[in-house]
Structure 1
Amino acid sequence: MNTTVTPAVTKRSSSVSGLGTYLGLAGALLAMIVLFSAMSSHFLSYNTFTMLANQIPDLMVLSVGMTLILIIGGIDLSVGSVVALAASVVSVATLNWGWGIFPSAALGMLCAALAGTVTGTVTVAWRIPSFIVSLGVLEMARGLAYQLTDSRTAYIGDVYGWLSTPFAFGISPSFILALLVIVIAHALLTRSVFGRYLVAIGTNEEAVRLAGINPKPYKVLVFALMGLLAGLAALFQVSRLEAADPNAGAGLELQVIAAVVIGGTSLMGGRGSVISTFFGVLIISVLAAGLAQIGASEPTKRIITGAVIVVAVVLDTYRSHRAKRRG
């Protein structure tokens, strides 16, 4: 059974997990750092990089989940709203019900995982594109967040502040946790049967089915994991803002998809790397910080960021066509 799936997995995954891809992304990141350092005397500093590290944990964990979803050929546009929903649930449990930190956090993450499970189940059971299903979940999750908070920001205080408080070399626990998620997800994707099945599903789902493997539970599980990671991202945001904002996460899904695509994960499925995605997160975060430091206007920042995304998609399409010709 495994012999039917493994060759395709090895062939597709090796194209993105090789040293050349990592070096290319690292080179692009280094070039951006050099450019912004030349344009701003304040950019190249330890404070800049620790500030970036402590601001991106939510984007890091969300990008990990999105990488797995894109690998199986899906997409989830609801992650920003699910983050707001999870944060709202945490605020209600903490402020209104008097729950402790960990039960409230667990409930928020459970609700987020449930939202992801709903998206995955509807997508798989009725064979509806996840793009459409996640749009519906996006609206429902945002509406629930507004209802739970009465459309107002709920100030929780610093009970979760320890997650975002730097404790060593200016780095916060949330960044360490996000790195741990990346390490675990990378091992899961590259060293486990589960990871090989995900790549195989995105490469040729029918071949996986003919090999005697039911892809449905794997696909639903990936969407549930995306929801769980959205719940974790919500905790990171609550710890940093000391509040649950029902408007939080608006447009966050676009940043997540941009980071994943820049990292080289294919929008067509079957190809992706968590480590490459991490580079994508760093690239898009350094780009945003650098443009802000050189005084670029908001329209200019959006134009440049959009252009980078378009170039990444074009490169992804080129890589896919070249891989097909070689195949």
Structure 2
Amino acid sequence: MREAGVALALVLIVIFFSIFAPYFATPENFLKIFVQIAINTVLAAGMTFVILIGGIDLSVGALLALCTVVGATIMIDPSYSPTEAIVLASLAAMGTGAVLGAVNGWVCERWKLPSFIVTLGMLNVASGLARVVSDNSTITGLPQPFVDFGNLIFWGVFPSIFLIAIIIILIGWFILRYTVFGRMIFAIGTNEEAVRLSGHTPRNYKIAVFTISGLTAGIAAMVYLLRLNVGSPVAGVGYELNAIAAVIIGGTSLSGGKGSIIGTLVGACILQVLSTGLQLMGADDNVKPIVIGAVIVLAVILDAYRGRLLKKLETR
């Protein structure tokens, strides 16, 4: 029902802008939307796992920046063939993100610290590392086969990077719905003590969740490179907030234990459709964040109201 409600909201927003925003309901505009939501969708997929356990990850934007410069640095190395460079860069970017994500989880669990504080610290660490690795400069000159793949359009409307995002969403959906690991994620967000008493170790699951968030930041970095063809130490600024917003608008509860990764995909679509639609209607750039911020607050209010309603029903 959460997913259906969010999907209905997306449909209504699309209908509204199709009527009132010039050139909104065109293949070219939908292609633009699909391109623009790809990075946020991948980041938000990993963020969904973190929020489902009642945590938060503020470091994903900085991790993305670090992973872009790591990947780009390897890809421009003349000692590798284009194929070798692309494969090694992808592994390095994803590995860097996963390792630093695991560090986030380990520090949180080792010293029982709030994930908000730990990942805020990692945001600064990763941002500084990105500047060091790149020598505070933008890295260009990526292999042409890599650039060409990033420009591919399938069936006339689906960019290659959007299909990558959909694959990540489907993998996340399968893990959360059909695996023991996925069930434990929901259970930890609902009642961590019950998970511990059942013989499982929540600590291991929590570290794994932050590792997943870091891994998806590495994948999002490769998507960023496919889209913009540059590695930048300032890439990803504010991306963590967009990822969190997509998850919350998609119906995942900030308190953990409730939500879905399909809802996250719809939430990312709502964010981008609102931004694009307002732009086509001629809204001032200062108005867009106000509207999107109001939508985020409304989503949190609805989540709180829904939680109170469920508690009342349970007491009856």
TM range (shorter): over 0.9
Distance 1:302 1:41 in 2: 21
The CA deviation at 1:323 is 1.8
For residues 205-248 of structure 1, give each alpha carbon's deviation from its aligned partner in whole angstroms, at most 9, with x where no partner exists: 11111111111111101110111111010001111111011111
Cα distance between partner residues in 1 of 2:242 and 2:95: 24
Answer whether contact 2:3 2:251 (CA < 8 A) is retained: no
Aligned counterpart, 2:132:
147
Q: Which of the residues 215, 224, 227 maps onto 2:202?
A: 215
Do 1:163 and 1:174's aligned partners in 2 also have CA atoms closer than 8 Å? yes
| Residue 111 (structure 1) aligned with residue 85 (structure 2) | no
Aligned structure 1 segments of 4 or more residues deviating by more than 6 angstroms? none
Matched, 1:326 2:313: yes
Where do 5+ consecutive residues of structure 1 fail to align?
A: 1-19
Of 202, 209, 229, the residue aligned with 2:216 is 229
Give 1:97 shift: 6.5
SS, match of residue 298 in structure 1? coil
> Structure 1 residues 147, 96: CA separation in 2 closer, same or farther (over 3 Å shift)?
farther
- After superposition, the Cα gap between the structure-2 partners of 1:21 and 1:35, relative to the gap in structure 1 and judged at 3 Å, is same
Match of 2:36 among 49, 55, 79: 55
Residue 39 of structure 1 deviates from its aligned partner by 2.0
Alignment deviations for residues 16-74 of structure 1 (CA, whole Å, 9 cap, x no partner): xxxx3333222211211122122222111111111111222211111111111100111
TM-score (norm 1): 0.91
- Following the alignment from structure 2 to structure 1, what is the Cα–Cα distance between the partners of residues 107 and 78? 32
Cross-structure match for 1:126 = 111
Q: 1:245 aligns with which of 232, 235, 240?
A: 232
After superposition, residues 1-327 of structure 1 pair within 5 angstroms as 20-96=1-77, 98-99=79-80, 100-157=85-142, 158-161=144-147, 162-327=149-314
SS in structure 1 of the partner of residue 158 of structure 2? coil
Paired residues, what number?
308
Q: Secondary structure at the match of 1:154?
A: coil
Distance across 1 between alignment mates of 2:78 and 2:51: 38
Contact kept, 8 Å, 2:139 with 2:231, in 1: the verdict is yes
Q: Which amino acid aligns with 2:112?
A: R
Question: 1:173, CA displacement in angstroms?
Answer: 2.1
Deviations 1:146-201 (A, max 9, x none): 11111111113344221342133232222112111111211111111111111000
Letter in 2 for 1:264: G
